[in-house]
Structure 1
Amino acid sequence: MNHLPLIIKREYLTKVRNKSFIIMTFLSPIIFVGIFALVAYLSSLNNDTVRNISILDESGLFANEFTNSSTTHYKILSGTSLADAKKEAESTEIYGLLYIPKTENLESLSKEITFYSEDSPSLSLMGNINDILEREVNTLKLKEAGIDSETIKDLHINISANQETFKGMETSKLGAGLKLGFGGLAGYLLFMFIIIYGNMIMRSVIEEKTSRVIEVIISSVKPRVLLLGKIFGTTLAGVTQFLVWVILILILMAAVTSIFGIDPTSVSASGQAIEKTVDGGTQQLIQEVMMEINNLPIANLIIMFILFFVGGYLLYASMYASVGAAVDSETDTQQFMMPILMPLILAVYVGIFTVIDNPHGTVSQVFSYIPFTSPVVMLMRIPFGVPLWQQIISVVILFATFVGMVWFAAKIYRVGILMYGKKPTYKEIFKWLKY
């Protein structure tokens, strides 16, 4: 084991000094922020687009219902036919024509209103128009029945039930969304980290094996020590690259938003939705978000995120290293990748389809103890309140499995790194475990 620090250092320096590693370390954040800035810029352009809509209301019922917004301007037409209105809309920069015919009753009217446009209109725009029409038609229908619609509106009460645990902790839909967002982000980061840097370990083993460098190293170092050194060294290189990405992305995001004046929170919204967004509502939303963040077990989340992140990566990294030792080229790894990727994919699906619906259900609990799925599933469950003893048991099982997987991988590594010119099968690998 006295060679382990030297192997870790060698592996780490080899990775961080690699030209492609350096280029991608600095280029990836630039590409990411560039794409983000482009999307935000295009979104802001889309928000600045004003849609001009003509309204031909032959019924005379909706003349005062459509009000202009910052993105939608309405023009009421009168004294013209539908054919002339359509020709005018096609010959000028009119986004669309809303035709409301005159009918005998409201039931017929609701089926004959038509929106004409050159292309398919946006869903948000049509949703807003339909809401306006439906609200007014329902009001008129109530008046026909002799019911005062304003009285009904005054008597209507909106109910939003408060959410609180038996221990007195308040919860909400927003809080559940934040918890789900944290769990999903943590699981996604781990999934991507395993895929990216697990493949890096596998390629590193294959390169040393094909260059015969490994034959010199293995003469003075035990396979298990060499395997651990490659895993830990590549892990440190990956963590270094990840931290550089985070720092550069934060710096570049701040620079882009300040220099170009791009609002990163800008999203495409309809005119009616924009009208509803007021400063007071935004401030209240921010206060609710901060309150929900304060209610989260931040310390528990950070500690367990680190433990499951490290444990999950080390477990899968040892599997990637054993695959690299068993083959001669990267093309031969495909037959062995499915057993590695399937538990990861299963963990993501279990997290999405079971944790969201019932984070404390039987399926969620079982998969949060299985070491090949627990790093993703348990990270998604923890924000919803998992007892500490369950978290500890899951972490212990995870790291114990890692130790066992290292022993398992070392046996494959010991034989595989000296095997050349033959594609191994599962049957042969199983024999290697007996040596």
Structure 2
Amino acid sequence: MNHLPLIIKREYLTKVKNKSFIIMTILSPIIMIVLVAVVAYLSQLNNNKVRTISVLDESGLVHEVFKNSDNTTYNILEGMSLEEAKIFSNESASYGLLHISKLDSIEAVSDHIKFYSEESPSLTLISSLEGKLEKTFTNLKLEQQGIDVDLINASRIKIDIAQESFEGEKTSKLDSFVKLGFGIAMGYLLFMFIIIYGNMIMRSVIEEKTSRIIEVIISSVKPVQLMLGKIIGTSLAGVTQFIIWMIFGGFLMTVVSLVLGIELFDTTPPQQELMQMASGGSDFGFYFESFKAALQNLPLMNLLFAFILFFISGYLLYSSLYAAIGAAVDNETDTQQFLFPIMMPLILAVYIGIFTVIEDPHGTVSTVFSFIPLTSPVVMLMRIPFGVPLWQQLVSLLILIGTFMFTVWFAAKIYRVGILMYGKKPSYKELIKWIKY
């Protein structure tokens, strides 16, 4: 008689009715949103604070450059010595004092600029000041050499190389970052899901084994059915928990944003200023449109189906190994020697995906590791946004499914013997003997 549906139901209900499962399902999104809200609130308080910066420009070259903004006020000091300016800035509770010395040449002046402050100044603030001064001194140097700065600025030509495939599909350099972001998100999600819920399966097997309940269950259920039931039941409980986290977390995020008036993922003004300076004052609307175009270029349907298939297959592959480890040992302490060989391919897959896919998604290293079953769920998911031929995806998936079936057989052999073994930590040599039984 096939008891698999009953085992799946039992495992699922046991997990979702567990008090710790219920508490963590509710508390996890609350804790996460509270932490994000606190950080966002503190950042908002910091951003709303107006900084007053005293400027002593003894050279008389750049004091007109400093214009007040919403978060920064510049106090131009005149007729003071450096020591007097320090005392004034300190007594007036200024954020700091920017001192520009008076020297013979622009190069000498640029080498003698100092910022005095009570504490270490903000990195974004210093970078912003450096950007303003660098641009101003560069223009002054050009004018000193008799070069028309306006003519140079008018002569600047911005190059943005258009990218297009031989089939006529248009892309941009932003596409690569968007595709890599999607790939990393999917690969990392699978990585975390395997670690969290794979360990849950392993602990479940160890608990039933140590409580001797398994001796009663195994008398009427085949070991392979029991193992698959645990894997599928725990997986469904994990999916349920994940869906609740997404819905509840999204609801809490909306409530916090509306009630407290906090933008939880808003970019801070100093960061915005630094980004705009780094991009040469480019129009952010252009980048936003490029980002939308990059999203439209993603093979969304392919990503969706591939994510589901590789996610399920990869998770089941690793879960069967976790279940076998749980059956082979009596406590979690003894699992460490067996977990390391399992974790290594996962960690390797993440590193391969991050450091090789973006540079050469169709190269030998990326392609080979996207076919190796223990790494393919992560690496292939990172490659697909870059356009992987369908036949490669199907071959990789078939190899993964075939390996999963072999792993289930392999794990069931260990599970069948190890589930009734007590009081001794097995070695790799003994595990090989169990497979032969």
Sort the TM-score into its range (normalised by shorter chain). Answer: over 0.9
1:326 aligns with 2:364: no
Aligned to 2:29: 29
Aligned to 2:347: 345
Counterpart residue identity of residue 382, structure 2? M
Q: Deviations over 1:244-299 (max 9, x none)?
A: 1111111111111111111123222328718969xx95655444333322221111
Separation of aligned partners in 2, 1:113 and 1:232 = 66
The question of whether the paired residues in 2 share the 8 Å contact of 1:54 and 1:94 is answered with yes
- In the TM superposition, 1:24-423 aligns within 5 A as 24-270=24-270, 273=273, 285-423=287-425
Separation of aligned partners in 2, 1:411 and 1:276 = 61
Separation of aligned partners in 1, 2:355 and 2:100 = 44
Bigger drift between 292-301 and 234-243 goes to 292-301
The question of whether the paired residues in 2 share the 8 Å contact of 1:97 and 1:116 is answered with yes
Separation of aligned partners in 2, 1:271 and 1:384 = 30
Unmatched 5+ stretches in structure 2: none
CA RMSD of aligned residues (A): 1.7
Separation of aligned partners in 2, 1:69 and 1:153 = 25
Counterpart residue identity of residue 208, structure 2? E
**SS where residue 86 of structure 2 aligns?**
helix
Separation of aligned partners in 2, 1:303 and 1:427 = 40
- Counterparts in 2 of 1:404 and 1:374: CA distance versus 1, 3 Å: same
Counterpart residue identity of residue 425, structure 2? K
Separation of aligned partners in 2, 1:11 and 1:270 = 51
The question of whether the paired residues in 1 share the 8 Å contact of 2:176 and 2:358 is answered with no
Deviation at 1:416, TM superposition (A): 0.3
Number of residue pairs matched by the alignment: 433
Separation of aligned partners in 2, 1:113 and 1:376 = 50
Q: Deviations over 1:176-207 (max 9, x none)?
A: 22111111110111011000100000000001
- Counterparts in 2 of 1:123 and 1:209: CA distance versus 1, 3 Å: same
Unmatched 5+ stretches in structure 1: none
Runs of 4 or more, structure 1, over 6 Å off, are none
Separation of aligned partners in 1, 2:120 and 2:360 = 39
The question of whether the paired residues in 2 share the 8 Å contact of 1:70 and 1:271 is answered with no
Separation of aligned partners in 2, 1:287 and 1:366 = 35
- Counterparts in 2 of 1:345 and 1:147: CA distance versus 1, 3 Å: same
The question of whether the paired residues in 2 share the 8 Å contact of 1:95 and 1:117 is answered with yes
Q: Deviations over 1:289-323 (max 9, x none)?
A: 33322221111100000011101110000000000
